[in-house]
Structure 1
């Protein structure tokens, strides 16, 4: 259904450090800058794009918005959370945790305040 998700950033280099680290923790690739100055992460046909707002105003985080990222295992979720916290992100809600429905989940805010979650269905 989705081709991409785009979020705004006030500091693309800080965002790049954060997203490169968190996606590397999941086995992903570093981002690439396109000809328009947007930072792009590609996986399985989808894209996460980070950009300075085109209207020239400061980027702000979506109130109530969360970007969910699929992880292969609990170890990947934990590594994602740790990498994000060490690279400009902020841990939020609870520490990485196993929920009663069998989902292992962690939450972070990126350097611009966007809310992200990494999760895996397996308890492995």
Structure 2
């Protein structure tokens, strides 16, 4: 049902560099780009995550309580994705580990623009 999710950025070039390197760990590549936005995914038919400079020309801001969660194929993939994000300049919002009950295993970080991302395996 979800086609793509966009996150605001105030520095498109910096966001492109961050997500090019981070999403390479998942085999995702740029699916589109324009003067204001870039989207990554694993195919044109799969859901994508994009960064965009706001249409209204105002600064991009982070939504309180807004988070994008990306499913990973294993706990090891969660660990590797989180480590890569931190290496690329993300800030920690919750190191990889089990959460709650059951098999949920997740990590949380903020990209260089402050957008919150979760990587999880369940």
Q: TM-score, normalised by structure 1?
A: 0.86
- 1:90 matched to which residue of 2? 91
User: Is 1:54 paired with 2:46?
Assistant: no
Please state how far the C-alpha of 1:36 moved relative to its aligned partner.
4.2
CA distance in 1, matches of 2:98, 2:34: 41
Please state how far the C-alpha of 1:31 moved relative to its aligned partner.
2.5
- Greater RCO (Cα-Cα under 8 Å, separation 6 or more): 1
- 1:29 matched to which residue of 2? 28
Please state how far the C-alpha of 1:53 moved relative to its aligned partner.
0.7
Q: How does 1:65-76 map to 2 (within 5 A)?
A: 65-76=66-77
RMSD, aligned α-carbons: 1.6
- 2:13 matched to which residue of 1? 13
CA distance in 1, matches of 2:70, 2:40: 12
Please state how far the C-alpha of 1:40 moved relative to its aligned partner.
0.8
- 1:39 matched to which residue of 2? 38
Q: TM-score, normalised by structure 2?
A: 0.87
CA distance in 2, matches of 1:112, 1:76: 23
3-state SS of 2:113 partner: coil
Aligned length: 119
CA distance in 2, matches of 1:80, 1:21: 10
CA distance in 2, matches of 1:79, 1:16: 20
